[in-house]
């Protein structure tokens, strides 16, 4: 657990959160419209199913990349953990690929917290989190999580679910608050 805790680089960090992109040679690729929208972020968080390491390398050209592993990910130190905790500005942000498989949710599309979510947070993150970042649905979503938090899903910038638009999440973490916004790519 301790090596999965990562402190945000400074107060007021701007994060981009991506998931479910499935980048593969000869297969899906990031849309060119994504890269200008990522400019100015301090850290890119990936929530799994990013595909081949080359996709992480492309993102690394914009900002440092850190994340969790999904089912469609090559081995890479940047996404080595199944769960990760980010801390900064007084907030704890938990990251997982599939909230239902980890016991945090009874459903993910839309998100419904599991009855045992508090125990799952203790097991995965060492305690409660203010924000839960999760993926695996290819559809953006926001829901209540815990006594004062939110569960946020960035959707997919590459392969959105039927009826959804290509999206990712921008998250500003500062002492005065933690603010998220779903960004349409195209």
Report the Cα 21 to chain-centroid distance in Å: 12
Nearest to 180 by CA among 150, 158, 159: 150
User: What three-state secondary structure class fits 167?
Assistant: strand
pLDDT at residue 147, as a whole number: 84
Bond preceding residue 110 cis, omega within 30 of 0: yes
pTM here is 0.95
User: What is Dmax (Cα atoms) for the chain?
Assistant: 45
> What does each of the 186 residues of the chain score in pLDDT, given as a tens digit?
445 566 776 678 899 999 999 999 999 999 999 999 999 999 999 999 999 999 999 999 999 999 999 999 999 999 999 999 999 888 999 999 999 999 999 999 999 999 999 999 999 999 999 999 999 999 999 999 988 899 999 999 999 999 999 999 999 998 888 899 999 997
Bridge partner list, 60: none
Q: How far is CA 10 from CA 24, 167, 172, 178, in A?
A: 33, 26, 11, 14
CA distance 14 to 3: 22
pLDDT at residue 11, as a whole number: 72
Say if CB 34 and CB 165 are below 8 A apart.
no
Phi-psi category of residue 126: left, alpha or beta, with phi > 0 → left and psi -120 to 50 → alpha? left
CA distance 1 to 94: 12
The angle formed by the CA atoms of residues 101, 63 and 88, to the nearest 5 degrees, is 65
- Written as six digits, the tokens of 175 are 């002492």
- State the burial class of residue 22 (Cβ atoms within 10 Å of its Cβ: 0-12, 13-18, 19+): buried
């Amino acid at each position: 657990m301790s090596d999965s805790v990562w402190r945000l680089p400074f107060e007021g960090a701007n994060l981009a959160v991506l998931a479910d992109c499935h980048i593969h040679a000869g297969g899906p690729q990031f849309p060119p419209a994504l890269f200008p929208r990522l400019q100015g972020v301090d850290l890119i968080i990936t929530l799994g199913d990013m595909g081949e390491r080359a996709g992480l390398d492309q993102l690394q050209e914009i900002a440092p990349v850190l994340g969790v592993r999904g089912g469609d990910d090559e081995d890479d130190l940047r996404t080595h953990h199944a769960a990760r905790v980010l801390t900064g500005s007084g907030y704890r942000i938990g990251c997982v690929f599939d909230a239902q498989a980890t016991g945090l949710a009874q459903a993910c599309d839309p998100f419904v917290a599991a009855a045992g979510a508090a125990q799952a947070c203790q097991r995965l993150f060492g305690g409660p989190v203010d924000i839960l970042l999760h993926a695996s649905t290819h559809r953006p979503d926001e829901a209540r999580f815990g006594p004062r938090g939110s569960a946020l899903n960035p959707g997919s910038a590459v392969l959105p679910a039927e009826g959804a638009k290509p999206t990712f999440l921008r998250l500003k973490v500062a002492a005065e608050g933690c603010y998220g916004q779903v960004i349409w790519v195209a």
